[in-house]
Structure 1
Amino acid sequence: MLRDLNLMPVYDSAECDLVLDLIAPLLAQSQEYWRGVGFFTSGWLRTACAGIVSLVGNSGSARIVTSPIMERNDWDALQVGDAAKRDAALRDVLREQVSDLPRALSRDTLDVLAWMVADGILEFRFAIPRDFRTGGDYHDKVGVFADSSDDVVAIHGSFNDSAKGSLNGEAFSVFTSWNDGQRPYVEQHRARLAKLWLHGNTQFQVLPLPAAIRDQIVRLRTGSRPYSSCHNPVSTPSVETSQPEQGIRLRPYQQEAITAWKTQNCRGIFEMATGTGKTFTALAAAMDRSVALERIAVIVLVPYLHLLEQWRQHCEEFGFFPILCSGNHPDWPKEVRSKKQDFRLGALPSMCILAVHQTASTDRFAKAVAGLSPETTLVIADEVHGLGAPRLRNALVPFVDMRLGLSATPRRWYDEEGTNALLSFFSGICFEYPLDQAIGTALTPYRYLPILTHFTNREMDAYEDLSRSIAALSCRDFEREPGLEERLKKLLLRRAQLVSAAENKLPLLLNKLRALMRGSEVSGTELKHVLVYCAPGTHSAVLSAVASLGLRCHEFVHTVTLDNRQKVLCQFADGDIQVLVAIHCLDEGVDIPATKTAFFLASTTNPKEFVQRRGRILRKAKGKTHADVLDFVVVPTTEHAHLRREADLSLLRREMPRFAEFAASASNEFEARATLRDILDAFEMLHLLDLKPWDIYHQVMESVEIKDRS
C-alpha cells in the first residue's frame, strides 16, 4: 500500500533517481495512475513505461495527458470543425513519434505497452492550446497515484519524463492523502487532472488518441498477452452523441433525461430499464450542475457494499473522488468532516460522499453531512425503490434541494405507503425509458423460451393445502387478531418456496444443458456464458448437478467475498468459468454483459426481482447479437383439473404475470405465448396472456378498496 512507503516530502535529482526512487515504487503499489506531462516522444515513453507495467499486476490502469510536438500549421489543422479531420491532423502530428517506437523501446517494453493500449489499461489524451497565439504548450508535471485502499499520493514538480529529464536538475514535491495538512493539495491536483481529461480546462482542449495511431501501436504486439487479462481498467463512458462543453458524450435519451430533471427543478426519478446507463446519466447530471454552480457536493446512496467500488470507479471517471461510507470503512465520519470543512472554506471545488443505504439511514451519517448548503448539494439514490422501506427512509437527506432517484422499478410491490413517500420526496418520476424502447439501442434483443414444469403429486397436495390455509386466514379480521398477518406471511412464503424449488426443474435444466452442449460440439465451439438463477437453499445441489455434466461452473452467492467476485466475473467473461449459479447477488447493480443464456429456475412474483435479473443479461457485449431467457414456469396438469380447480387457478395467476412481462418484449413474442395457450384455454384463463404484474397489482388494490368501502 502507498502509506507503507517511506516517502520524503521532496525528491531532488541531485540526491536520488526520480524514476527508480519515487515513481516506480509508487506505481508498484498503485491501482490508478494519472499523469500530466509535456511532449509525447519515444524517449519519454521509454522512461515512463519503466514503471507503468507494474500497474498490470495490481489490476490497475493509467491515464496520461501529454502534449504533441507541433508547429503553428499543425495547430491550425486541428481547429477544423469536423471531428474526422481533427483526428487525421493529430494522427499526422504523432505518426513520426509512433514510428520511432520499435527502435527506441526494448522488445519486452514495447510488447507490454502495445498490449496495455489494446486492453484499455493505458490511455493517452493530448492537450493542445485553445488559442495558439498565446504561445503556451501544455507543460504540466503532475502525477496522482491511488491504491486499493483509497490512499492517494500526488507529486508535482519540474521533472519532465523526457529522455534528458534525469540529466537536468529536477525535483518533485510529494503530498499524501492520509496527512490532513496535505489532503487539500492532493485533491486539488487530482481534480484538475480529471477536469483537464474531461475537457473542463479553459486554456487547453484535450483530444483522444486517433484510431489510426492506436491501431498502429496495437499492431506492435507480438505473441500472446504478457499478463493476465483479468484486469479491471478504468473505462470511459460508452458514448454516441457528444456534449463538448463537459467532455462527456451521452446518448440522446440520456440527455433527454437530464433535461427533464432540470425542467423539474432538479428533482425526479429516472425510471430507466436495467442496462440503459442510469449511473452515467446521473453523474452527467451532477457534472452539469457542477459546471453551472461552479461547486457541488454529491451524496450517492447505493443498496449494497459491492456497489460502492463500482460506483467509486464511475464517479472518478467524472472527476468526483468519493469518500466511501459503510461498516467496512470505519474512518468515514472523520473523512467526511475534514472534506466538508475544506469544501465549505472553498479549498475544494467539489466533494463526493458514497454511502450504502444502511449507513446513510443512521443519525451518525445525518450529523456528518449536516451543514452542507442545500442549494449546492445533490443526492443521487441508486435502486431508489429500496429506500421506501420505513427503516431506510432516513437516508433521504431531507435538507438537500437537488434530488435524483434511479430505478428500473421505482414503485414498491404491495407497499403504497413506501411508494408514495418516494414519489413525494423526489417530486415524482421525471423521465421514463422502458425496455421496449431500449432493446436494439442500448440493450440486446432476447428470445423468451418458457419451459413448462409440473409439480410432483406430493408438491401439488402441499400447494393445495397451503392455498386453503391462506384463503381461510385472508377472510379473518387482522385488526382484532394480533399476529394473524405474520402467520399469513409465513404461509405465503412457504407456498412461494414450494414453487421456486419444484423438484422437476433440475432434471429439465440438465436436459437443456446437455442439448446446448451437443449444439456447441456440432458447431465446433464451447458452451459458455450461461447463468443459472436458483432458489435459496438449492444452489449447492444445482452446482453439483451442473458440474457432473463436465461443465466448469462456480457459485455466485453471498459467501463469495467481495475480493473474489470480480475475479469470478472476469473468469466468466473470459469463458474460463462456463456456468455461474446465482441466487440474489446478481439482482441489482452487478454487470455481467457477457451472459448469452440465462435459466430462471426461481422467481418471486415481485417484478423488482425478475425485471432486474432480465436486465442483467441484456447488456451489450462484443460478439453478442441476442440473449436467450429460459424460464421455468410451473403450471398445473389438465388431468383431474376439476378436483383442485382453485389451487390450479392460483398457480396460474402466480406464474402468468412474469410470463406475460417476459413474452411482451421478446423477439419471439407470439411463439412464446403459444406454449401456454392450450393450458390457459383449458382453464378458461386466456385473458392472463395479457396481464402483466402491475395489472394484477392494480386489480388487487382496487378490490381491497372496494372491500374497505363496503
Structure 2
Amino acid sequence: MSFRDLHIKPCYESGVDDIIEDYYVPVLGAAMRYDRITGFFSSTSLAVAARGIADFIVNGGRMRLITSPRLNREDIDIVKKIVADDSSLTMSDFGIDLDNLENEFERNHVKALGWMLASGLLEMKLAIVFNDDGSICDNETISEKGLFHQKVGILKDTEGNEMSFSGSINETASAWVNNDEEFKVFKEWTDAREYFVRDRKRFNEIWNDERKNVKVYNLPSAIKSNIIHYSSDFDKESISLKKYRTIRLREFDFKNDKKLFFYQADALNKWKANNYKLLFEMATGTGKTRTAIAGIKYLNQTRKRLITIITTPQNTLSKQWKDEVDAQKLTFDENVIIDGSVPQWDRLLVKLLLKNGAGMADHICLYTTHNTASSDKFTNAIQQNLQNGTDVLFVGDETHWLGAHKFQHALLPCYKYRIGLSATPSRWFDDVGTAKLVAFYGNANFEFTIKDALTEYNPMTGKHFLVNYHYLISKVSLDEDETEEYKNISAKISKLWNLKDNTPDTTITLERLIEKRANIIKNASAKYNQLEIILDELQAKGRIENLIIFVSPQQMVEVLNILASREIIFHKLTEKEGTKVEKRFGNKSEREHIISKFKSRDYQVIVAIKCMDEGIDIPTADVGILMASSTNPREYVQRIGRIIRQSPNKHSAVLYDICVDTVHSVGDDYAEFERKIRAKEQIRLKEIAANAINSIDALTIINSLD
C-alpha cells in the first residue's frame, strides 16, 4: 500500500480527528523512511504507533530524528548505554521478537528504542538554539530560549511517494494522545509540493548542521559535551500511553492478531460478543491453550485490575499452562501455582488477593486444579477477599470435569469473564451437569471439530491442523469361560431389568452387574494375543517408538510383561506417578520426567490409563493401541487427539482398536437394552472411522460386528 491509497486529509486537529488511527499509524505502516524534527521526543511515541512502526520496520524502514537534549530518564539511560557501547549490554538484552513487533513496542518502548538505535534503524541527533550573545547553551540547565522547538515530519513510502507534516505536535505519547494539537500535511504529488520541498530542505539543513542559529550534536558528542539532561516534562507519558492502550485494545478485532489462526480469532470474537463468556469446543491439538492465552492477554491489557484463574484436572497440566503463558511473554505482577503441591497455598492465595485489592499487584495469574478451585478454602478466600474494582477471568481447561457435582462449587458467579475449554464439553449421562456448564459459560459455544482440523489447512505450514490417521480394527472373541460368565450376568440383568425402577437397591445392583459385564468385554484375554500380533507387525516395520498403549488397570501388568519379553523400552503413566518436583528427576516431577523421556525417544512406549486422556501434550506420538475403551465420547475423542497432533516430520498416524465381537445374550425382555448397548459401541467405532483415511474399510469391519 502507498500513501496515494490512503485517505489523507490536508489538515488534522485533536478533538476533531483521531490523529493516531486516521493518520499516524496508517502513514507509518506504508512508509519506509521517516525523518522527524521535534521539540520533545519520548520512546512512548513508539508504543502509541506500534502497529505502524511494526509495518514500517518490515518495509525496511529507517528513521532519522532531530530533537532537543531534554529526554526522560529511561530514554537517557538506554541512549547512553548504546553510545558507550556498554559491554554489559548485548543484543540478547533487547530480545526483540521480530514476528511480534507490535507487541514488543507496546510492552517495552524503552527496550524498543535501544534496539532501533543499536540496529541502525534509528539515527538520532540533538539540537540546541544559539543564545542571544552567540554562545551555545551547553551548561547544565538549558534555558527555554535555548530549546529546540521545531516540529516537522517527512515520510517516503515504498513506491517513492513523499509527504510532510508540520504544526504543533511533538513526538511523544502525550502529544499524540492528550494534547490539543494541529498539523498540516503536504503531499509532493499535489499542489502542496512547494511546502513539502521547504520542509524537506529544512530537515536536511538542520541534520547536516547547516543552520546558523542551531547547533546539532550526534549522540556521542552530545553525551561528551554533557548537554543531554533529564526533563520532568515526561512524567505524564506513562499515563498517556496506558490510556491509549486501553482505548485501542477495547476496539481490538482478534483477526488482527497475526499469531492466531482464523478459527481461533473467530472463537475469541464470539467470546467477546457474548460478554466474554464462551465454551470453546475445539478438537484436541487445535490450539485451545493458545486461543485462551490470547483472550487472557487482551483482558490483562485492558482491565485496570484483573485476576486470571486457570484451573486444570491435574498439577502437571497447570505447570504446562504456566510454561506456555511464560513463553508467550504475558506480563503479570504475580504469576503463581496455587494447589496442593504448594505448602500453605490457602494463606498465599489470601495474601495475593489482598495485594491486588491494595493496588500492589494489579494483574495476577493463578494456576490451580479443579479439586483445589472447588474446595471451600479456595472459594471462601475468593468470595471474602475479592475487592471492588477487581475483575476475574476464569479459564476452565478440560472444563467438562467441572460439571461434576463435587466440582461445580468452582463455578462462582463473581467470575465476570469465563472461558471453557474442552474437545467434548457435554457430560456423558449427566444432562444436569452439562446444563450447569452451558449456563455458566453464557449459553453459547464455538466448535472446531476433528473433521474441521483434518480438512482445513494451516496457512503457515500448508498442512492440515491435525495429521490424518488410519483406523485399524481387530476382532477378537471371548473364550469359553468369559462367554459363560457374560451370559450368566446377562441373565441376572434380565431378571432385574423390569424391577429396576422399584427400589434404589435394585437399581444399584443392576448398575454393578452392568459394569461387571462390561469389564469382561474390556479385559478379554484374547486381546493380549492380538496385542502381540500388532507389536510383531510394528517391530517388523521398525515402528516401535512414539507408541501409546491405552489399557484398563486390570490389563496393566500383563501388557508390561508382553513389552518386557520383547525388550521394548517402556514406562507406565498412571495417576500414581508424582506431580511434585524432585531433584532425582532433574527438578521435574516424575510425570514430567516420563513424558520428556518419551519425547526424546528414550522410552519407546508409554502404557497409559486415564491420565493420558486429558490434555497431556505429546505431539511426537503417532501410533496408538486401544486395549480398553468405553463408549464415552470424551474418552475416545481425547485418545484420538493424543496421536494426531502435528509435529515435525510427522505425516500420518495409526490407531489400532482391539474390539470384542458381538456376544448375544438371553432374555427377550432385556433384548432392547442389549441393542442399545451394542448401538453405543457402534457409534463409538463409526465416529472414529468417519474421519480416518481408510474409513470405508474400517466401516466394513464395524458392520460385521453387529
- What is the TM-score normalised by the length of structure 1? 0.62
Which of 474, 478, 486 in structure 2 is aligned with 1:451? Answer: 474
Measured in 2, the distance between the counterparts of 1:131 and 1:295 equals: 37
Do residues 367 (structure 1) and 380 (structure 2) align? yes
Q: What does residue 337 of structure 2 align with?
A: 324
Instruction: Give the C-alpha shift of residue 669 in structure 1.
Output: 1.1
After superposition, the Cα gap between the structure-2 partners of 1:374 and 1:459, relative to the gap in structure 1 and judged at 3 Å, is farther
Alignment partner of 1:567 is 2:473: no
Does the CA contact (< 8 Å) of 2:253 and 2:269 recur in 1?
no
User: Aligned equivalents of 2:418 and 2:359: distance in 1?
Assistant: 23
Q: 1:161 to 1:257 in 2, by over 3 A?
A: farther
Tell me which amino acid in the other structure corresponds to 1:606. Answer: N
1:423-450 CA-to-partner distances (Å, cap 9, x unmatched) read 1222223211111001253211111111
Query: Structure 1 pair 546/346, CA: closer, same or farther in 2 (3 Å)?
Result: same
Structure 2 residue aligned with 1:261: 271
RMSD of equivalent CA atoms: 4.2
Contact 1:463 1:647 in 2 (8 A): no
| Deviation for aligned residue 1:470 | 2.4
In the superposition, relative to structure 1, how do residues 250 and 199 fare at CA in structure 2: closer, same or farther (>3 Å)?
farther
Counterpart AA for 1:433 = F
Equivalent position of 2:407 in the other structure:
392
For 1:195 and 1:397, the matched residues in 2 are separated by 38
- Seen in structure 2, the aligned counterparts of structure 1 residues 413 and 311 have a Cα distance that, compared at 3 Å, is same
Displacement of 1:202 after TM fit?
A: 6.4
Q: Distance in 2 between matches of 1:506 and 1:161?
A: 72
Choose which of 505, 513, 517 in structure 1 pairs with 2:527.
505
Aligned letter for 1:263?
A
- The Cα offsets for residues 613-632 of structure 1, whole Å up to 9 and x where unpaired, read as 11111111111011101111
Computing the radius of gyration from Cα coordinates, the structure with the larger value is: 2
What letter matches 2:398 in structure 1?
E
Per-residue deviation, 1:494? 1.0
Q: Does residue 610 in structure 1 map to residue 516 in structure 2?
A: no
Alignment match of 1:282 (pick from 270, 286, 292): 292
Report the number of matched residues. Answer: 495
- The answer as to 2:622 corresponding to 1:589 is no
Q: Is the 8 A contact 1:197 1:206 kept in 2?
A: no
Distance of 2:102 and 2:34 partners within structure 1: 22
Q: Give the share of equivalent positions with the same residue, in percent.
A: 28
Residue of 475, 479, 483 corresponding to 2:498: 475
One-letter code of the match for 2:315?
A: L
- After superposition, where does 1:252-651 map in structure 2 within 5 Å? 252-316=262-326, 317=328, 318-320=330-332, 321-370=334-383, 371-373=386-388, 376-440=391-455, 441-478=464-501, 480-520=502-542, 527-562=544-579, 563-636=589-662
Report what 1:225 is aligned to: none
* Distance of aligned partners of 1:430 and 1:655 in 2 relative to their CA distance in 1, 3 Å threshold: closer
CA distance in 2, matches of 1:424, 1:488: 33
Shift of 1:246: 9.2
- Could you tell me how far apart the structure 2 residues matched to 1:288 and 1:393 are? 27
Structure 1 stretch displaced more, 343-352 or 469-478: 469-478
Residues 372-428 of structure 1, C-alpha deviations (whole Å, 9 max, x = no match): 448721111111111111111111122122122111111111111111111122222
Could you tell me which runs of 5 or more consecutive residues in structure 1 were left unpaired when the two chains were aligned. 1-70, 94-128, 143-155, 168-193, 214-241, 521-525, 681-710
1:653-680, Cα deviation, whole Å (9 max, x unpaired) = 3531211110011121112112233443
Matches within 5 A, 1:173-188: none
SS of 1:663 mapped into structure 2: helix
Could you tell me how far 1:201 is from its partner in structure 2?
A: 2.4
Can you list the C-alpha shifts for 1:149-177, whole angstroms capped at 9, x where unaligned?
Answer: xxxxxxx9x9999996589xxxxxxxxxx
Shift in CA distance, 372/466, structure 1 to aligned 2, threshold 3 Å? farther
Provide the C-alpha distance between the structure 2 equivalents of 1:311 and 1:130, rounded to a whole number of angstroms. Answer: 42
TM superposition score normalised by structure 2? 0.62
Q: Shift of residue 469 of structure 1?
A: 2.2
Counterpart of 1:35 in structure 2 is: none
Q: Helix, strand or coil for the counterpart of 1:604?
A: coil
Asked whether the equivalents of residues 200 and 245 of structure 1 are also in contact (C-alpha less than 8 Å), the reply is: no
Contact 2:550 2:607 in 1 (8 A): yes
SS of residue paired to 1:439 = helix
- In structure 2, what is the Cα distance between the partners aligned to 1:330 and 1:609? 33
Q: CA deviation at 1:335?
A: 2.1
Alpha-carbon contact 1:248-1:284 (below 8 Å) kept: no
Q: Name the amino acid aligned to 1:335.
A: L
Task: Report the Cα distance in structure 1 between the residues aligned to 2:700 and 2:613, rounded to whole angstroms.
Answer: 29
How far apart, in 2, do the equivalents of 1:639 and 1:363 lie?
48
Cα distance, 1:134 vs structure 2? 8.8
Q: Which residue of 2 aligns with 1:201?
A: 107
Inter-partner Cα distance in structure 2 for 1:332 and 1:131: 52
Alignment of 1:83-122 (within 5 A): 86=57
Native 8 Å contact 1:641 1:648 kept in 2? no
Q: Paired residue for 1:190?
A: none
SS of 1:585's equivalent in the other structure is helix
Q: Corresponding residue for 1:56?
A: none
Change (3 A) 1:293 1:455: same
Relative to structure 1, the CA distance from residue 591 to residue 535 in structure 2 (aligned partners, 3 Å threshold; closer, same or farther) is: same
Q: Is the 8 A contact 1:130 1:205 kept in 2?
A: no
Inter-CA distance 485–131: structure 2 relative to 1 (3 Å threshold): farther
- CA contact under 8 A between 2:74 and 2:110: conserved in structure 1? no
